[in-house]
Amino acid sequence: MSVLAKGTYFWRSAAQGVRHAPFVHFIAVVTIAIALFTAGMARGLWQLLDSLIATLGGQVELTVYLDQAAAGWRAEEVAQALRSQSGLDAHVVPPEEAMARLKLQLGELGSALDGLPENPLPRTVELTIPAGQRTPEQMKALAEQARALPGVTAVDYGEEAVQRLSSIASAARAGGLLASLVVAIATIVIVSATLQLAIYSRREEIEIQKLVGATDRFVKAPFLIEGVLQGLLGALCAAGGLWAFAAFAGPPLQSLFSFLLGPHGGPQLVTAGLVAELFGAGAALGLCGSFVAVGRFLRV
């Protein structure tokens, strides 16, 4: 009974605190909202890079180029040898199919290829690499095996591009984490400063509370709740901002980068999981800020 009454009092007192110093709390809420919005956007970017890596990774294949003069039977022999050596799926791509693909990729410009006196593209063998075998060492070993086969002039695989993208994603993730940490610390400092003002404006009330027998925890609890309230309100604003961004800027961006993202588009920016994380992070930031303020400025 007493715990419930005290809990009710804490929340009521925290809400009163927000009402009595709206501008101070507004600043804290906006700061938290900006920090969380930025973090949400960074998270969306990471997810996009991950999805890009997965998309490109799914297309990883080893392409074996044969001599221009190599006949179809020679290509079949190379494909058969690769199948038996690696146990993977290998298929021959005749020059006509290669030309058709190139025309498709070039789009409107593809018609320029019609003027060529003959098809310059060589016969190739494509070896699809399952995800588990895409380590640089295995790809290199496969390429060596292919190069040793008769009639093979060159071997190419897109792993390098994937690795580069992977490194970029890792760097972006590390940089993002560092930036998030800096933003989080700055947010905590600002939240604690705003709560310091709130504490100062209620010093008379705190003094009376102490004189009528309030414990330290009783005096501090409403300020900690105020911090959590600021965090939750900030998270609500950030979630709203991200939703608005996804709703208005998402479709044009998706169509702009559809060649990279494929027909299903990129990952969803605002999900239930992200909203839950935003509220959790907001509450944590607010609580940390209020904890610092209460610890430093509320000497009761």
Partner 1 sequence: MDGGPAQPMIQLFHVYKAYPGDPPSLSDINLTIGKGEFVFLTGPSGAGKTTLLKLIMCAEKATRGQILVGGRNIARIRESAVPYLRRNVGVVFQDFKLLPHRTVADNVAFTLDVLGVPRAECRERVMRMLKQVGLDHKASSLPLRLSGGEQQRVVIARALVNDPTILLADEPTGNLDPALTLEIMDLLNDVNVRGATVVVATHDATLLERLGHRTLRLERGRVVSDEDGIKAARRMAAG
What are the residues binding partner 1 (CB under 8 A)? Answer: 1-6, 8-9, 20, 204-205, 207-216, 218
Measure the CA angle with vertex 252, ends 248 and 253; round to 5°: 100
Tell me how far CA of residue 37 lies from CA of 76, 163, 176, 203, 238, in angstroms: 55, 29, 13, 34, 5
Compare residues 26 and 218 and give the one whose CB is closer to partner 1.
218
Distance CA 130, CA 128 (A): 7
The per-residue DSSP string of 149-193 comes to STTEEEEEETHHHHHHHHHHHHHHHHHHHHHHHHHHHHHHHHHHH
CB of 5 to partner 1, least distance (A): 5
Q: How far is the CB of 254 from partner 1 (least distance, A)?
A: 52
Dihedral pair phi/psi, residue 153, rounded to 5°: -105, -30
- Smaller CB separation from partner 1, 96 or 207: 207
CB of residue 31 to partner 1, shortest distance in Å: 26
**Shortest spacing between CB 38 and partner 1, in angstroms:** 37
Quick one: 147 or 217, whose CB is closer to partner 1?
217
Q: Whole-angstrom distance between the N-terminal and C-terminal Cα of the chain?
A: 26
Residue number, 6 or 296, with CB nearest to partner 1: 6
What is the spatial distance between Cα 217 and Cα 187, in angstroms, rounded to a whole number? Answer: 24
For residue 297, the minimal CB distance to partner 1 (Å) is 18
Give 17 or 234: the residue with its C-beta nearer to partner 1: 17
Residue 93: C-alpha distances to residues 22, 45, 96, 101, 110 (Å):
69, 36, 8, 10, 19
For the record, the structure tokens of 112 come out as 């320029």
| Shorter beta-carbon distance to partner 1: residue 25 or 123 | 25
Phi, psi for 266 (deg, rounded to 5): -85, 180
Write down the least CB distance from residue 226 to partner 1, Å: 17
